[in-house]
Every structure is written in structure tokens, then in C-alpha cells.
Chains A and B, each alone.
Chain A
């Protein structure tokens, strides 16, 4: 047998769609500060690579807290738009690291805001 056979052991590994979805939800939840069960993840094929589309709420500080201390917005990571853009790269990196599959795109649709009093300090 050739070198290809020496490198590969017999057998075939597959990662089910469900597992991929769970990983994506966890990664998104981590990046946006929401519980994983609130995140909805869908897969599409993008020319042989994976395209992920997420529908998720995002954690924001309460308005009264922002009024009291405008620096809270910066502490949360800036405006929602900037955070979503930053989260894409974060989710892509984390997902690729965990599953080994290559993402080509991450689409995020923010479906709501979940107000967190405590606030995560980044």
C-alpha cells in the first residue's frame, strides 16, 4: 500500500450535523454572553466549506446602568454591531479549533437583547 494508507488507519470518523450545531451554539453563546439554548444555528454548504448562520440574542447592560456609567458600553465590548462583527471571528476560530471543520462564513442575526445586570468585564 502507498503512503496514503500508512497515514490513515482503517475506519471512518464522522461528525454529525447535530454535533456541529451544538458546538456552534456553544461557541456563539460564549462569544455573545448568552445561554447556548437561546442560540439557533443552521448550516449550509458554501462551495465545499461550511456556512454557519446564527440567530441569537446578545447580552447588553441595562440602560439605567449605562446612564449611570457610560463606560459600561465599552466594558461590554462596544456597540452591538461591533460586538457582532468581532464575534464572527471569535466563533469561526473557536469552532474550527474544536471541530476541525473549516467554516467559510458566519452570518449572525441578532434576534433580541438579554439584559444582564452584572455585566461581563472584558
Chain B
């Protein structure tokens, strides 16, 4: 488990994020060549994914502690002194005869704790750990925007396109999808296609990567006099 957690950036989890921006940029501008200074990709990856440093440090400390203790016991035995806590020989014998000699409840609890810790480290290592942020294509600077900011901008645009008040629009931005919920004003029918086109135009101008898809939900009931 430690091996997986101690791996540096740019491993299996994060690499898919790197080709994404380049693809999107090449598509929308047709000039993917000038995509900023050389270290930019790495900086952007660091900004859009969460750090694994904490988990890596915990794993390292655990492994160091375990190894240090084993070293201590081995050294004590090599010198011929009585064992500090547990003789390595006895420890190995007990481990091989494991189901015996330990209460089943304690065994179960220990197993569960070990499993939880293992799952924590494993998921930390394998999952991409993306933050709710998008990268804006820019020839010179790296621009990273929180999804809430994008949602707010899109909500404003959708509100203007639908001609409704602020409270009638709700936008949820995730990595690959933008969900626009609009509650129309009673008596003023809305067309979802109009809202969709407006939001899509705004998104195109933002040139996000990865580019999310737009989905518009019109509520069936309206708001009276809004």
C-alpha cells in the first residue's frame, strides 16, 4: 500500500487529465502549438487535482515506524539481549498459527481496521482526485476557474436568455456536464433550445477544458408573476 501512496504526481490517476486540455485547445483554436510555457501543464495539473502529500506522509511514517521496530527487535536479538516487546521468532510463529491464540472478536476488529486503512490508501492512490475546477485556454497564462464561478456566469446568461428572475435559474457545473434548471414564468412559455443555445455560446467563449455538455431542464410548473 505504501508503494502506491508514495508515488509522485503524474501517475495512473492524473495522466488522463493532461491530454484533455491539449485536445480541447487544438479543437477550438486550431493552434495548439503555443500552449504556454513548458512547465504549464504540470502547474495546471497541480491546481486542478488535490494533493496526495498527506496520505503519502502518513503511509511513509507507518512504514518507517514498522521497519524501525523490526530493526530494533532484530538488533536486540542479534546482540543476545532479552526482547524489548516481542521476539521476532515468536512473532513469526504466532503469525503462522494465527486463527488460534487471538479472540475472534479482536481478530475481526483488527482485520476491519486494516481493511479500512488499506482502502483509504488505495483509493487515494488510484482515484484521480480532481478538484471542482476547470482550465481556461489561454495562450500566455494558465487560468484555472472554480466551477462555482462558471456556474454563476452561466446562470446569468441563462437568466437573460430565458427572461426570468435570478431565483428561477439554477446551474450545476461538474467536470463533464452543465445542468441548467429553469423554472419558467407562468404564461410565458420557454423553449429549452433557446436557453441551451445561449449557454452553449457562453461556454464556447469560455473555451473550457474539458468542455462540458449542456443539459437544460425546464420545470413543468411556473412561477406566477415573476
A, B: real partners: yes
Give Cα distance in the complex from A4 to B200, angstroms: 11
Contact B221 A4 (CB under 8 A): no
Contact B187 A47 (CB under 8 A): no
Per DSSP, chain B at the interface is: loop
A5 interface hit (Cβ, 8 Å): yes
Q: A8-B161, A12-B159 are in contact. Are A50 and B224 (CB under 8 A)?
A: yes
Residue ID in chain A nearest B218 by CB atoms: A48
Contact A45 B194 (CB under 8 A): no
Contact B224 A12 (CB under 8 A): no
A73 interface hit (Cβ, 8 Å): no
Residue ID in chain B nearest A8 by CB atoms: B160
Chain B residues packing against A (C-beta within 8 Å): 159-161, 163-165, 184-190, 194, 197-198, 201, 218, 220-226
Give Cα distance in the complex from A10 to B160, angstroms: 7
Contact B225 A12 (CB under 8 A): no
Q: A102-B187, A102-B189 are in contact. Are A18 and B161 (CB under 8 A)?
A: no
CB distance from A30 to the nearest CB of B (A): 20
Contact check: which of A4, A15, A99, A100 meets B197 at CB < 8 Å?
Answer: A4
Contact B224 A17 (CB under 8 A): yes
Contact B198 A12 (CB under 8 A): no
Q: A43-B186, A45-B186, A48-B189 are in contact. Are A15 and B198 (CB under 8 A)?
A: no
CB distance from B108 to the nearest CB of A (A): 57
Most A Cβ at <10 Å: residue of B161, B164, B190, B218: B161
Interface magnitude class on chain A: 20 to 34
A1 interface hit (Cβ, 8 Å): yes
Please name all residues of chain B whose beta carbon is closer than 8 Å to the beta carbon of A44 when the two chains form the complex.
224
* 11 pairs from A and B in contact (CB 8 Å cutoff): A4-B194, A4-B201, A10-B160, A17-B224, A18-B225, A44-B224, A45-B221, A48-B221, A49-B189, A50-B186, A102-B188
A9-50, CB < 8 A from B: 10, 12-20, 43-50
0/1 interface trace, chain A 74-103, chain B, CB 8 Å (1 if under) = 000000000000000000000000011111
Give Cα distance in the complex from A50 to B188, angstroms: 9
CB distance from A81 to the nearest CB of B (A): 27
Contact B160 A49 (CB under 8 A): no
Residue ID in chain B nearest A3 by CB atoms: B197
Contact B201 A1 (CB under 8 A): yes
Contact A45 B226 (CB under 8 A): no
Contact B163 A43 (CB under 8 A): no
Contact A20 B161 (CB under 8 A): no
Contact B161 A49 (CB under 8 A): no
Please name all residues of chain B whose beta carbon is closer than 8 Å to the beta carbon of A17 when the two chains form the complex.
224-225
Contact B225 A20 (CB under 8 A): yes
CB distance from A89 to the nearest CB of B (A): 17
Please name all residues of chain B whose beta carbon is closer than 8 Å to the beta carbon of A64 when the two chains form the complex.
none
Give Cα distance in the complex from A54 to B111, angstroms: 71
Residue ID in chain B nearest A96 by CB atoms: B187
Residue ID in chain A nearest B157 by CB atoms: A5
CB distance from B201 to the nearest CB of A (A): 4
Please name all residues of chain B whose beta carbon is closer than 8 Å to the beta carbon of A15 when the two chains form the complex.
225
Please name all residues of chain B whose beta carbon is closer than 8 Å to the beta carbon of A12 when the two chains form the complex.
159-160, 163-165
CB distance from A24 to the nearest CB of B (A): 11
Give Cα distance in the complex from A16 to B165, angstroms: 12
